[in-house]
Amino acid sequence: MAIKGNLKEASLPDVLQLLAMGQKTGCLALTDRSNFGYVFFERGRITYASIVNRRDRLGDLLVKNGLLNPVDLAAAIEEQPRHPGVRLGELLIRRGAITRDQLEQYIRIQIEEAVYFLFTWTQGTFSFEPEQRPEEGAMLVSINPENLLLEGARRIDEWSLIEKKIPSLDLVFEIDRSKPLASLELSDDQRKILPLIDGRRSVQELIEESGMVEFDVGKALFGYIQAGIAHPVGRRQAQVKEVPQARIDEHRNLGVAFYRTAMYDEATREFRRVAELQPRNVDARFHLALIGLRKGDDRFALRYLREVVEIGGPRATVFHSMSLALERLGRVADARLAADEALKLAPKRPQVLLSRAVLLLKAGEAHEAAEAFREYRRVMEGKRVPPAYYAFAVLAEAAAGAPDAAIRLGEEAIAQHPHAAPVYLHLGSVYERKGSWEKAEAMYRRAADEDRELPQAHKALGDALYRRGAYDDAAECYGRAARLNPRLGDDVYFRMGNIHYKRMERQQAVELWRKALEINPQNSVVRTNLELVESVLR
């Protein structure tokens, strides 16, 4: 179950403690205005953390701490584009520049520092999505959150004092050389930054050039300020670089991070900003379309999908997405045309083949649909096929006049996907067509048990129970189906009305028949029942 909240009402340390105590596995996403970070958990222990658009300083840290030669770092960075998906640290290990133990040590430091930085966020929102894991290839650690909570609390207390003297990382400090330093007991960190405090470097530059983390630099500099040795001499004005792509990438990175954690409103804001800054950016518009599909706003999705085609030309993925949106809007013929266009561009792409086969089935072209499902299966030779294939292919075979083949396919589906409710639901309908009423009811019951939120399963089970006269049980199933989807069908309310009428509950029967007539004004049987009963009630 997802956990959501506001950082003003529940602090990050409290949330971490809750996830640790509950031994949760998943991703905790946090947003503070235009900042975004996430922390991954595995059985209550932190395995990974990162902050979007915060500079990855792994290479710098390794160089500044004498573990990595700058030449090796530059060579690995240059090599990285030739190995997509391989992270910088892994390339450095392959080159023999560092050991895996050294890499893990500094990965751990980066993760800890990311969490400590997140502790400073006092406003914004958080959302925990269970069972989400880091991207493939990410180097994971195992950190007890309790240890970070203690250190984080200490840092927050200390930083509240430090930031009074160092309110901005743009400040520039210099050392007063007229004062004796020999009498001071300097920490290792203070000795390390001393040569860098020259009246020209900002605090941010001290951090970057020392290879130390923000907190350690701030604490060391604070000691000099308190001793009267260092004092501010100005502020480094951020250099305004005319690099629109950098700003675009920043918004895009945030948009992708929000999208992956289902924060769709925030993702929409970021991708719209990208589209404003770069009017012909296809990627931003395609992501906006995907957000529309995820939110169920298919017209919103279609708007941006059309723009993608206008700007970037025809693409199989775009036409495939169009077909999904059009299908959900009930425009099956248009969806079929979009699927055909996708098929021309990608004739062997499994997702396209499967979508087109489903559309053929919905259009009533049973034989063509059955053959389309077989073609999909040929393309997927040797690969595990999803439950959706089986659920619809079973119907296609039955509709094409091959119920035995449909049943064999359904049995194979159950062996492969024993918890797929739609498979049981559709296989039940095949048994029903063959007159195997007991088997059909058993399939419907299993579908309802596997997915308590699938209204069609409860309706189908209700129909089976109604047919054999188990009216009380049927009424319970119909009631659940109607609560899950009040517009599921006029026949649900018609039969519920019949059951109440048999119980001599005529007023309830009338109310239910009226609902049936609202859904389908052409239902003459319901209209006749209403007229007869209402005339008696008068």
C-alpha to C-alpha distance for 339 and 353, rounded to whole angstroms:
8
> Looking at the chain, how many residues does it have?
538
Do 217 and 121 reside in the same domain of the chain?
A: no
Do 7 and 76 reside in the same domain of the chain?
A: yes
C-alpha to C-alpha distance for 31 and 16, rounded to whole angstroms:
15
pLDDT for 242: 43
- DSSP H helices, 120-180, are 145-165
pLDDT for 110: 84
- Residue at which a domain ends, from 383, 417, 438: 383
- Residue at which a domain ends, from 213, 235, 257: 235
Instruction: Output 473 or 330, whichever has higher pLDDT.
Output: 473
Do 101 and 29 reside in the same domain of the chain?
A: yes
Specify whether the CB–CB gap between 232 and 245 falls below 8 A.
no
Residue at 414 is within a domain: no
Give mean pLDDT, residues 323-331: 91
Quick one: what percent of the chain has pLDDT higher than 70? 95
Q: Which stretch of 75-89, 141-155, 327-341, 513-527 has the lowest confidence by average pLDDT?
A: 75-89
Residue at 332 is within a domain: yes
Residue at 481 is within a domain: no
Report residue 77 as tokens: 């960075």
Give mean pLDDT, residues 409-419: 95
pLDDT in tens, 169-220: 889 999 887 777 767 788 888 888 888 998 889 998 888 888 787 888 999 9
pLDDT for 429: 95
C-alpha to C-alpha distance for 400 and 433, rounded to whole angstroms:
13
Residue at 518 is within a domain: yes
Q: Which stretch of 99-108, 339-348, 491-500 has the lowest confidence by average pLDDT?
A: 99-108
Do 99 and 182 reside in the same domain of the chain?
A: no
Give Rg (Cα) of the chain. 32
Tell whether pTM > 0.75: no
Quick one: what percent of the chain has pLDDT higher than 90? 45
pLDDT band of 538, cuts 50, 70, 90: low
Specify whether the CB–CB gap between 430 and 407 falls below 8 A.
yes
Specify whether the CB–CB gap between 115 and 46 falls below 8 A.
yes
CATH number of the domain where residue 207 is located: 1.10.10.10
pLDDT band of 120, cuts 50, 70, 90: confident
Q: Does an H or E element contain 171, and which?
A: strand 171-175
For residue 335, the 8-state DSSP code is H
Residue at 372 is within a domain: yes
Give mean pLDDT, residues 459-481: 95
Do 82 and 103 reside in the same domain of the chain?
A: yes
pLDDT for 240: 42
Do 352 and 215 reside in the same domain of the chain?
A: no
Do 79 and 152 reside in the same domain of the chain?
A: yes
Give mean pLDDT, residues 137-157: 85
Give the residue among 24, 43, 39 at the shortest CA–CA distance from 134: 39
Do 53 and 152 reside in the same domain of the chain?
A: yes
pLDDT band of 151, cuts 50, 70, 90: confident
Do 113 and 191 reside in the same domain of the chain?
A: no
Decide: helix, strand or coil at residue 50. Answer: strand
Give mean pLDDT, residues 70-82: 78
Q: Which stretch of 82-91, 368-377, 491-500 has the lowest confidence by average pLDDT?
A: 82-91
CATH number of the domain where residue 326 is located: 1.25.40.10
CA 358-360-362 angle, to 5 degrees, is: 70
Instruction: Output 88 or 302, whichever has higher pLDDT.
Output: 302
Do 145 and 207 reside in the same domain of the chain?
A: no
C-alpha to C-alpha distance for 189 and 217, rounded to whole angstroms:
7
Residue at 520 is within a domain: yes
Residue at 220 is within a domain: yes
Residue at 334 is within a domain: yes
Buried b (16+ CB within 10 A) or exposed e, 352-361: bbbbbbbbbb
Q: Which stretch of 300-304, 376-380, 530-534 has the lowest confidence by average pLDDT?
A: 530-534
pLDDT for 372: 95
Specify whether the CB–CB gap between 252 and 270 falls below 8 A.
yes
pLDDT for 243: 34
Give the residue among 327, 375, 367, 370 at the shortest CA–CA distance from 347: 375
| Tally of domains in the chain | 4
Residue 154 pLDDT > 80 = yes
pLDDT band of 277, cuts 50, 70, 90: confident
- Residue at which a domain ends, from 361, 383, 405: 383
Do 192 and 131 reside in the same domain of the chain?
A: no
Q: Which stretch of 49-53, 100-104, 159-163, 362-366 has the lowest confidence by average pLDDT?
A: 49-53
Residue 397 pLDDT > 70 = yes
What is the chain's mean pLDDT, rounded? 87
Q: What is the DSSP string of 267-322?
A: HHHHHHHHHHHSTT-HHHHHHHHHHHHHHT-HHHHHHHHHHHHHHH---HHHHHHH
Do 213 and 231 reside in the same domain of the chain?
A: yes
Residue 241 pLDDT > 70 = no
Side-chain half-sphere exposure of 108, counting CA atoms within 13 A: 13
Query: What is the 3 state secondary structure string of 91-137?
Result: HHHHCCCCCHHHHHHHHHHHHHHHHHHHHCCCCCEEEEEECCCCCCC
Residue 457 pLDDT > 50 = yes
Residue 310 pLDDT > 90 = no
Domain extent at residue 514:
493-538
Give mean pLDDT, residues 130-139: 79
Give the residue among 315, 322, 314 at the shortest CA–CA distance from 339: 322
Residue 510 pLDDT > 70 = yes
